[in-house]
Amino acid sequence: AQSVTQLGSHVSVSEGALVLLRCNYSSSVPPYLFWYVQYPNQGLQLLLKYTSAATLVKGINGFEAEFKKSETSFHLTKPSAHMSDAAEYFCAVRPPGNQFYFGTGTSLTVIP
């Protein structure tokens, strides 16, 4: 069975501080992995994706994520938080096939 676990439903960081959002997945075969961001009353926007190429993936808005197979993790980081980063973040896994499995989300608050 496929699943995604996002540790910490709420994360608060100070403006300029490191952002670390955690994602662990379970999949019987190497999956594709994604991070999406959702702003209030909007759909999901793709931040970055891992598709079995480089394990360190760079995305938009300064975010990056590292695929660690041994830890079944795909944590999202950003060196310096900006106020505009406040949003809901979703990790998703797509094993071979077409269905996406999403985590329950992490709400990021950025404190000025």
Partner 1 sequence: ETGVTQSPTHLIKTRGQQVTLRCSSQSGHNTVSWYQQALGQGPQFIFQYYREEENGRGNFPPRFSGLQFPNYSSELNVNALELDDSALYLCASSSITDEQFFGPGTRLTVL
Residues numbered 50 to 89 that lie near partner 1 (CB under 8 A) are none
Within positions 7 to 36, which residues make up the interface with partner 1, using CB under 8 A? 34, 36
Count CA within 13 A, CB hemisphere, residue 110: 17
Alpha-carbon distance 18 to 32, whole Å? 25
Decide whether 41 or 84 has the Cβ nearer to partner 1: 41
Contact 4, 91 (CB under 8 A): yes
Options 7, 20, 46, 60; binder of partner 1; rule CB under 8 A: 46
Cβ distance 32 to 43 under 8 Å?
no
> Which residue stretch of 18-26, 55-63, 68-76, 100-108 sits at the interface with partner 1 (rule: CB under 8 A)?
100-108
| Residue ranges in contact with partner 1 by CB under 8 A | 4, 34, 36, 41-46, 49, 90, 92, 97-105
